[in-house]
A and B are shown apart, each in its own frame.
Chain A
């Protein structure tokens, strides 16, 4: 099998990918304990994107599971989860961005998912103000007592993966999150691999 896209994305950096309708996007957490911010746009119109808030509405849940159809901001199907080794992902936390580090932790100049992802898709005509909220693969954000957000590390072990099948032509980005200050990536960002082809990536 040859793969149309096969990229190892260093921890804390971003890379683009694209998939035609029917193709499979496999994201592998190579070393485990790593969350990957994942966005997708409809190829024919980047004003339509995979939208976690609309997924929450259609699924009536803040979590996504194997078999779930993920929808766009126009409430149309975009991707379906066909394999999920971990079963714990986050669909509520916005991408870390310059102000996440500068304002909330007093650390200007930190690498961040928003700029990682935007730099990898901007040449397709995406304005930074029109970047969607991400689906955070493997990120572990439980609801703890009285609606508080639990921040803890992913449950993913080395080599575990999630496979999404594209239902329309899409392009997107993956950013293995650079957050190394609070729990979320085991305090040490590590690489992920994104593979696109006619079948789920196995190895």
Chain B
């Protein structure tokens, strides 16, 4: 396992993956416990809805709703533990050059359809395409509860990297967002990178300020 364990497990490290998500489509890929999952807005300005189901039980999935309660926050930050609908941490945000994501809004119909196509392609049956974590989505929450949605500020090469804590199947869609204000039109491609060591990831962009 690619984490610093007292008793390192013998055997090879899990496979590393580098997958392009074509504009308008979604991909599904396995990620192992301890691996680093990076999602990159290759061309910028593209929201990346993230979905995941645990490998042993597709009835347990990444849940933005349970993530908010678990962390006591409406907002995804560095160090936030993303949890499943059974309140178990599945990812932790460890590197993030944008620091602007969404835990409140739904996937578009396009995204759900693309994920269903990608799931069918790998023969994965799930009880539900759950609500996503919308990486790179600019949806600012005001104290009066208003959600101000704007275009994704992701720059070309913007990347968010998470440590995976549960073996899982991950889906990422490069489609229109549910809200027109947040959508790149037409949609732009994304890239998903899975690595065992942080040193084998490309450098991040400088953290976006302002």
A104 contacts B105, C-beta separation under 8 Å: no
Known contacts A104-B87, A143-B74, A147-B73; decide if A62 and B128 are in contact (CB<8 Å).
Answer: no
**What are the residues of chain B within 8 A of A129 when measuring CB–CB?**
59, 127-128
Rounded to whole Å, the gap between the CB of A63 and the closest CB of chain B is 4
Known contacts A99-B87, A103-B87, A148-B72; decide if A51 and B65 are in contact (CB<8 Å).
Answer: no
Rounded to whole Å, the gap between the CB of A145 and the closest CB of chain B is 8
- Cα distance A164–B181 in the bound complex, in angstroms: 30
- Cα distance A146–B74 in the bound complex, in angstroms: 9
Chain A positions 124 through 148: 1 when the CB is less than 8 Å from some CB of chain B, otherwise 0: 0001011001000000001110111
Chain B residues within 8 Å of chain A by Cβ, number: 32
Known contacts A53-B131, A99-B87; decide if A62 and B141 are in contact (CB<8 Å).
Answer: yes
B143 contacts A by Cβ under 8 Å? yes
B69 contacts A by Cβ under 8 Å? yes
A53 contacts B105, C-beta separation under 8 Å: yes
Q: Which of A51, A73, A127, A129 has the most chain B CB atoms inside 10 A of its CB?
A: A129
The B interface, classified by DSSP as helix, strand, loop or mixed, is loop
A100 contacts B by Cβ under 8 Å? yes
Chain B positions 99 through 114: 1 when the CB is less than 8 Å from some CB of chain A, otherwise 0: 0000011100000000
Q: Which of B59, B146, B148 has the most chain A CB atoms inside 10 A of its CB?
A: B146
A143 contacts B104, C-beta separation under 8 Å: no
A102, closest chain B residue (CB): B87
A149 contacts B72, C-beta separation under 8 Å: yes
Chain B positions 122 through 162: 1 when the CB is less than 8 Å from some CB of chain A, otherwise 0: 00000110010000000001111111110000000000000
11 extra interface residue pairs, beta carbon distance < 8 Å, beyond A93-B65, A143-B143: A54-B106, A56-B105, A57-B105, A92-B74, A94-B63, A104-B87, A133-B65, A133-B131, A147-B75, A149-B72, A149-B73
- B interface, CB within 8 angstroms of A: 59, 63, 65-66, 68-70, 72-75, 85-88, 104-106, 127-128, 131, 141-149, 178-179
